[in-house]
């Protein structure tokens, strides 16, 4: 079978959906390569910083690893800004949504909120409330998000930092994104 015969989903057969699932599996297996490609597209775009967003991502992951973070968290640090290319205004939500099937609820929450929490370091300079993150102070992952931003995100704009190369992190990305934990979440 090369294609299904139906034009309306409710007319599909079990055989056709089994075929479609087999096709879909190749898409799922391509997620690590697609995300690594998106990350590489961030090279060269400094947006006024001393390093580009690619180097920032590598630096964040390097700091997370050197700080003893688990592999899933390291991958989240590496990919935390991948939403920048598609949706700069809500990049945190985009990155969290893309990675959600593969990561824990804790890391999902951190990614979802890291942009807002990162504002602590600069919102007061642009006439915004730097303490807006305090609305989440009673959430179980509040401090984890504060730590993520403080230790790995806001510190990772240093052109002289001894950053590990992408090749170091690629096997981690492939392991973490190998199998969805929550495929229909």
> Model-level pTM greater than 0.85?
yes
CB proximity list for 179: less than 8 A, separation 6 or greater: 102
Tell me the longest C-alpha to C-alpha distance in the chain.
60
- Of 155, 153, 157, nearest to 144 by C-alpha is 153
Q: Give Cβ neighbours of residue 34 (< 8 Å, ≥ 6 apart).
A: none
Give pLDDT tens digits for 67-76. Answer: 999 999 999 9
127-165 pLDDT per residue, tens: 999 999 999 999 999 999 999 999 999 999 999 999 999
Would you say 114 and 92 are in contact if contact means Cβ atoms under 8 Å apart?
A: yes
In the chain, the domains with their CATH numbers are: 69-177 (1.10.3210.10)
């Amino acid at each position: 079978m090369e294609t299904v015969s139906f034009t309306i989903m409710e007319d599909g057969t079990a055989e056709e959906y089994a075929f479609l699932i087999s096709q879909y599996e190749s898409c799922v297996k391509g997620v690590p390569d697609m995300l690594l490609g998106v990350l590489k597209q961030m090279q060269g775009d400094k947006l006024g910083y001393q390093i580009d967003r690619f180097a920032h991502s590598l630096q964040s992951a390097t700091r997370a690893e050197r700080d003893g973070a688990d592999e899933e968290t390291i991958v989240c640090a590496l990919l935390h800004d991948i939403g920048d290319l598609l949706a700069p205004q809500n990049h945190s939500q985009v990155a969290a949504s893309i990675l959600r099937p593969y990561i824990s609820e804790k890391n999902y929450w951190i990614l979802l909120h890291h942009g807002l929490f990162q504002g602590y370091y600069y919102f007061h300079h642009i006439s915004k409330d730097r303490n807006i993150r305090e609305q989440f102070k009673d959430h179980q992952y509040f401090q984890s998000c504060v730590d993520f931003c403080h230790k790995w995100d806001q510190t990772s704009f240093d052109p002289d930092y001894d950053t590990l190369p992408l090749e170091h992190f690629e096997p981690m990305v492939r392991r973490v994104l190998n199998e969805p934990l929550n495929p229909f979440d």
